[in-house]
Structure 1
Amino acid sequence: MQDQDFVHLHLHTDYSLLDGAIQIKPLSERLENLGMKACAMTDHGNMYGAISFYNTMKARGIKPIIGCETYIAPGSRRDRAGRAAPGEKANFHLILLAKDYEGYRNLSRLTSKAFTEGFYYKPRIDKELLAQHSKGLIALSSCMSGVPSALLAQDRFDDAAVAALEFEEILGKGNYFLEIQEHGLEPQARIRKPLVELSKRTGIPLVATNDAHYLMPDDARAHDVLLCIGSGKTVSDQNRLRYGTPNFYVRSPNEMWDIFGSELPGALRRTVEIAEACDLTLPKGVNYLPNYPIPESDTGLSADEYFEKTVRDGYRTRKVQVWDLELAKGELKHTFEEYEARLSHEIAVIKRMGYAGYFLIVWDFVRYAKEHGIPVGPGRGSSAGSLVAYSLGITDIDPLKYDLFFERFLNPERVSMPDIDIDFCVRGRAEVINHVANLYGRESVCQIITFGTLASRAAIKDVGRALDMPYAEVERISKMIPPPVRGRNVSIEQAIEQVPELRKAIDTNEQVKEVIDIARRIEGCARHVSVHAAGVVITPEPLEEIVPIAVSAKDEVTTQYEMTDLEKVGVLKMDFLALNTLTIINDCLNSLKHLLSEAFSWSKVMLNDERTMQLFTEGRTDAIFQFESSGMQDICRKLKPKSIEDLSALNALYRPGPIDGGMVDEFIQRHHGKKNVRYIVPEMKEILDTTHGVIVYQEQAMQLAQKLAGYTMAEADSLRKAMGKKNREEMAQQEQKFIQGSVDRGIKRDKAQQI
């Protein structure tokens, strides 16, 4: 780094909820434009955005420094005696930066215990906890709310020196720095010389920071409004939090050198030295799978051996209860040799990929639910393609019968964690989670955090209220934002382009213009935390040893990382979905049992019952899961389904892509014989015959790739995934591979291109 470089070591993203207004992606762009090679993230009391920050910065070639501006209790973190006395702070601030992986883990432990042990208005640590987990950390004394600065502001120089030296002793010499800032605030100016003197007296080096809370100078007004949103105040309120100057932005190195360069160049160079000392690399390809407790009766078996034994026991049960009966009726589509070969293949892949324990974990809690009368769904998503899952009773769908592929669920050529979503009755879900917590330890099981964001309409409403705009006017403007399109919010930018009325309001009304301008600046910022409706994590050791945890407003323990970030760090995530439909079905069955004095199982219901299909034909599908929307009811009336296969096809086709591409109408026309079915090559008929020549299922695309172009099923799954993600670069590569493979197998090039 050059002589006049500078690194931001004190910076708040929008994960400093309703205080930080810096979103991570725009931050990375700003840093790149400024030529800055490193940056720290130090949100208030949490590590919510650490993984997103780490990966985004890495992708830009910028060194990410993961940190936190912790709240530190004046005494014990466990003290709940009451608020601080007048003139005293309830907590102080301390910046902690992870030097390495050990420091990252200690930061995770500290921020976790701040929530679980020290929460009192804020998540707090104390000096005792800091001393226990100080290795691998660098600390900065923080802003005016840091202990030394707060004491200097009270003209308590000697006390500030004692406090600073105590922190240095805890962190170790060379790991604690006195932070100096300049935002044009009188209190900062007043302690500037005492801070310099304190550094000389104690020998603790100074480091210059800028306490960035927003990206650019002209974001100051938007940040001020954000503070009002967070505190429930309006900008006209005199008694509210405000920053006082427009200087809490991501300053350039030149700006920082203009401020401190002549007097304290060492404080600026020290930011670079600290950044160089921080060299965190998060491990890749690590999966933190808990160990399934093997029963005492099988203690001699390894997890792999017990897994295979359990699977084969389940397979034999399915054979007796299902396949032997189908064979007797002449309804078994595949031979037992095919079933056994498929089972052996799946077992081998699962064991080779190290996921035997995963399947045992899922098998255990599904079995628990069924044994305790808690309704469980028959299967959801790609896991229905696993014969192992069917044999274990995790799913109740025979994958061979319905031509479902294991590779779509678990691709041996693409190492990724399996993902089995399980539906439970609403009333029984909590009991199942409680069983899991008891089995693996409550310190190793928790739910997953999610973040509510300031979407376009919400941003306008919040900003309007903060700016004292009349309620009716706020509502009028916010309603100009079009409703979400297929689950995606329409951004303010898009709305301005699409809605002339909104553009006119902006052009003719200064207050509306200001509301929209500020709302655009904070749109997308994290607003609040909540608990994911389904996600649960299970770890092999206490959670805080692997990921930071938090405590929700309802005292629920959650991760600090959201679901996608948990997957990136290799934590096992399970979806325990609470499905109201299962509860309704169960209540109906109980009513029938009461009325008829006879037990009735929904799994025995005929799937092609004529009277039931007539209901679908008439579109009378209110409250039927995935068939209750008016659009789906209309399509049901047009198709007039006669079988479960017809319903399955409709469910697969009722998506934005097929609807927009005319596939639904084409399918209906062919279904009724109003359009002829033509195949580009005869080999396609075997695969597409049941869907009238229309590629309805992703499995059909995989089959075509295998049959026509010689793909392995694992390669076909990679093609499927590329199609789903609409990755143009990868699709171009797959196109060439498919065409060449088809040509090599005797298909004309123009036909292959058409397919």
Structure 2
Amino acid sequence: MSYNYWISLHQHDYFSNAGGYFEIVTSTKDYIKYAKKYNLPAVCITNHGNISGWVQRKRDIESTGLKYIHGMEGYTTMDLEDKNRGYHTILIAKNYDGVKEINRLSSKSFNREDGHFYYHGRITFEELQRVVSNGNIIITTACLAGPIAQNLVSSDVSDEEKRNRNNVLQQWIDLARNNRDNVYLEVQPHDNVEQAELNSVLQDYANQYNLQLIASNDIHALDQDHDRLRKIIKKGKRNGYDNDDQFELWCKTRSEMVDEFNKQGVLTQESIQKALDATVDIANSVENFELDRNPKYPQLYDNPEQEFQKRIKNGLLKRGIDKLPTDERQAYINRVNHEYSVYKHNGAIDYMLSHQDIINAAKEHGIHFGPGRGSVGGSLIAYLCGQTEMDSLKLGLNFERFMNPERVSLPDIDVDAFSKDQKWVQQWILTNPKWHAASIMTANTYGLKAAIKAVADGMDRYAGKPAYIQSIRNQIGDDGVVPTEVYEEHQQLIDDAKKVVGVIDSFGRHAAGIIIDTNTIDDTLGIQTISGWDYPVTQIDMGEIEYLKNIKYDVLGLDNIGLISRTAELAGIPFPTPDSDFIDFEDEAVWNSMRENNIGVFQMEG
């Protein structure tokens, strides 16, 4: 069957930039608009070496009635011992099992200890073989950096190199022959001699071995304007190619693709049509899947309710509630019973237990925390279990602000530790064998001033004139307002820079946020590593984590905690809490001092 459209299954948005090589200014939402304009039924994104942001991407695509297709452009190495950056390989998920397999491969590729990571994440040919044989993913041979193109034998290589290349080619051909429905030879229509030669070889392979061709334009831009802009920035960053103009890597219609293939003059009409049809057939075969949005509390105890009850009883004794007069004691018991019923109703008992385990481990290490940040101060049980030092009954704090039966969002306890202790607590969480944990990804994006520099560096008028560029940036307000005279003098620069605002440049990690899960996260979320941090980082951000209802723990660094701890140590007194009997909390002199000078007062309500 022949269609009047095609679907790009090799396509990048600006999440591809995060590998340290800037190439894209286009967002998924740009591709969605294009798909809607041309009545395309699906959008697929295959970013370089990562699947970051995939949850939000899926939501954005499906919210417009389009099908989401999960993919990645991976880097495949024949051997981890080889110091190469790997062959570009497109991976496309046919179903949710395929999604998890791609996520797992991407996660594993970032391992910096076993050789997978070399400049960027890599997967091995053996790992790729394994998942292809499972039947849940489709792969294509990608571009001129793919396995076929990189191993075509030329006359200027040694006999040994020829043997090595032929051996690699044979392994990839065997992979395709053994998995004909799941391995495609990718042809592209660029006006480039090497690409034309590759297409000729791929067409011959398809005929000789009864393999399937698939068409691609290796899309890096929405349109010619986005392509122009990305090439300007690449030029400024000195990562462009001399033959960039031979590759029109923007969205094209089916008729435009046919025209380009015809101009190239390599493929037969039958091959062109079959290669374009294959994109639609694959898209149609991809199964929709739903995301798991159930709360993912860590399951650490065989009988969590019994464990929770035991800890509450111990807390009642430790806090001296058993020694209170009967009426007062009963008020505490009533409050505990009420809170317990809400925790049980909301399924949050496991969360409270895991959080207490973290606090207890840190306290055993001599680490102090602030008395209580945010709404958790309203939980009497949290006080009894040592997660806060706020007696909510005595202080008249409202438990329902923290949790109630109608609460939709998950509980969220922020704790303050001395900045120097923060890393110890985070490391303890991230390396605990009881669960899987990762810091939470953040995306670093261009603001207007940074965008002006990125664009100006690649424009002939400004290139090599850093002082001149800086003088323009200095005239831009912190609010992003561009003075009229600046805009009139540099209109093209400012207009282009505004298109780059919000484009992702790199990934980082949330300073405080960590997720834990007793189920694996390398396949359900995806993890990565980033420079300067020795622990896993998610491939989805805070908003996506909250949407999926993964459980996060925030350990914030606060120097005031260290100052208080050191002061108490020098004074020969215990670390103070709201229960400390050696402090007069009604001392008018202290209150007056805070009214007159609030230096050193971090937060105050009342």
**Post-superposition offset of 1:120:** 0.9
- Separation (CA, whole Å) in 2 of partners of 1:431 and 1:409: 27
Counterpart secondary structure, 2:47: strand
The partner residue of 1:188 within 170, 177, 195 is 195
Matching of residues 649-664 of structure 1 within 5 Å:
649=606
Are 1:151 and 1:159, in contact at CA under 8 Å, matched by a contact in 2?
no
- Separation (CA, whole Å) in 2 of partners of 1:372 and 1:348: 32
Deviations 1:419-466 (A, max 9, x none): 11111122222322343345435x722222211111112111222233
Residue 447 in structure 1 maps to residue 439 in structure 2: yes
- Separation (CA, whole Å) in 1 of partners of 2:238 and 2:553: 40
Counterpart secondary structure, 1:440: coil
Distance 1:560 1:438, change over 3 A: closer
Are 1:290 and 1:540, in contact at CA under 8 Å, matched by a contact in 2?
yes
What residue is the counterpart of 2:158 in the other structure?
A: none
What residue is the counterpart of 2:587 in the other structure?
A: 609
What residue is the counterpart of 1:310 in the other structure?
A: 311
Distance 1:314 1:275, change over 3 A: same
The partner residue of 1:204 within 207, 211, 228 is 211
What residue is the counterpart of 1:272 in the other structure?
A: 280
Q: Which amino acid aligns with 1:193?
A: S
Are 1:15 and 1:48, in contact at CA under 8 Å, matched by a contact in 2?
yes
Residue 457 in structure 1 maps to residue 449 in structure 2: yes
- Separation (CA, whole Å) in 1 of partners of 2:2 and 2:391: 64
Counterpart secondary structure, 1:244: helix
Are 2:49 and 2:72, in contact at CA under 8 Å, matched by a contact in 1?
yes
Counterpart secondary structure, 1:53: helix
What residue is the counterpart of 1:433 in the other structure?
A: 426
**Post-superposition offset of 1:245:** 4.1
Counterpart secondary structure, 1:206: strand
Residue 395 in structure 1 maps to residue 388 in structure 2: yes
Residue 505 in structure 1 maps to residue 505 in structure 2: no
Are 1:227 and 1:241, in contact at CA under 8 Å, matched by a contact in 2?
no
Are 1:592 and 1:600, in contact at CA under 8 Å, matched by a contact in 2?
no
Are 2:5 and 2:253, in contact at CA under 8 Å, matched by a contact in 1?
no
The partner residue of 2:410 within 405, 412, 417 is 417
Residue 516 in structure 1 maps to residue 494 in structure 2: yes
In structure 2, stretches of 5+ residues that fail to align are: 156-161, 263-268
- Separation (CA, whole Å) in 1 of partners of 2:586 and 2:475: 46
Are 1:363 and 1:394, in contact at CA under 8 Å, matched by a contact in 2?
yes
Are 1:429 and 1:577, in contact at CA under 8 Å, matched by a contact in 2?
yes
- Separation (CA, whole Å) in 1 of partners of 2:458 and 2:395: 56
**Post-superposition offset of 1:386:** 2.0
- Separation (CA, whole Å) in 1 of partners of 2:467 and 2:394: 58
Are 2:100 and 2:523, in contact at CA under 8 Å, matched by a contact in 1?
yes
Q: Which amino acid aligns with 1:446?
A: A
Residue 281 in structure 1 maps to residue 256 in structure 2: no
Deviations 1:288-325 (A, max 9, x none): 33222x5xxxxxx711221122123313433539x93x
**Post-superposition offset of 1:395:** 1.4
Deviations 1:688-721 (A, max 9, x none): xxxxxxxxxxxxxxxxxxxxxxxxxxxxxxxxxx
The partner residue of 1:39 within 13, 37, 43 is 43
What residue is the counterpart of 1:227 in the other structure?
A: 234
**Post-superposition offset of 1:240:** 5.1
Q: Which amino acid aligns with 2:501?
A: E
Deviates more, 1:215-224 or 1:26-35: 26-35
In structure 1, stretches of 5+ residues that fail to align are: 84-89, 295-300, 329-333, 485-489, 627-646, 650-755
The partner residue of 1:214 within 214, 221, 229 is 221
- Separation (CA, whole Å) in 2 of partners of 1:505 and 1:416: 46
The partner residue of 1:586 within 557, 562, 565 is 565
Distance 1:444 1:169, change over 3 A: farther
What residue is the counterpart of 1:76 in the other structure?
A: 79
Identical-residue share of aligned pairs (%): 28
- Separation (CA, whole Å) in 2 of partners of 1:574 and 1:57: 29
Bigger proportion of residues as helix? 1
The partner residue of 1:553 within 531, 540, 551 is 531
Deviations 1:533-567 (A, max 9, x none): 01112121343243211112133321222222223
Counterpart secondary structure, 1:288: coil
- Separation (CA, whole Å) in 2 of partners of 1:138 and 1:14: 23
Are 2:13 and 2:26, in contact at CA under 8 Å, matched by a contact in 1?
yes
Matching of residues 295-694 of structure 1 within 5 Å:
302-320=303-321, 324=324, 336-437=329-430, 439-441=432-434, 444-467=436-459, 468=463, 470-484=465-479, 490=480, 495=481, 499=482, 501=483, 503-508=484-489, 512-554=490-532, 555-593=534-572, 598-599=573-574, 601-603=576-578, 604=580, 605-618=583-596, 620-626=597-603, 647-649=604-606
**Post-superposition offset of 1:356:** 1.1
What's the TM-score, normalizing by structure 2? 0.87
Are 1:260 and 1:268, in contact at CA under 8 Å, matched by a contact in 2?
no
- Give the greater-gyration-radius structure (CA): 1
- Separation (CA, whole Å) in 1 of partners of 2:9 and 2:346: 40
Counterpart secondary structure, 2:4: coil
Distance 1:417 1:254, change over 3 A: farther
What residue is the counterpart of 1:115 in the other structure?
A: 110
Residue 141 in structure 1 maps to residue 133 in structure 2: no
Distance 1:408 1:168, change over 3 A: farther
Distance 1:245 1:523, change over 3 A: farther
Are 1:535 and 1:574, in contact at CA under 8 Å, matched by a contact in 2?
yes
The partner residue of 1:168 within 176, 184, 188 is 176
Counterpart secondary structure, 1:16: helix
- Separation (CA, whole Å) in 1 of partners of 2:575 and 2:195: 75
- Separation (CA, whole Å) in 1 of partners of 2:588 and 2:404: 39
Counterpart secondary structure, 2:512: strand
**Post-superposition offset of 1:233:** 2.6
Are 1:41 and 1:67, in contact at CA under 8 Å, matched by a contact in 2?
yes
Residue 131 in structure 1 maps to residue 139 in structure 2: no
**Post-superposition offset of 1:280:** 3.9
Distance 1:573 1:193, change over 3 A: same
Are 2:177 and 2:211, in contact at CA under 8 Å, matched by a contact in 1?
no
Counterpart secondary structure, 1:446: strand
Deviations 1:313-365 (A, max 9, x none): 313433539x93xx79xxxxx95544333321221222232221110000111
Are 2:234 and 2:458, in contact at CA under 8 Å, matched by a contact in 1?
no
- Separation (CA, whole Å) in 2 of partners of 1:464 and 1:314: 62
Residue 104 in structure 1 maps to residue 129 in structure 2: no
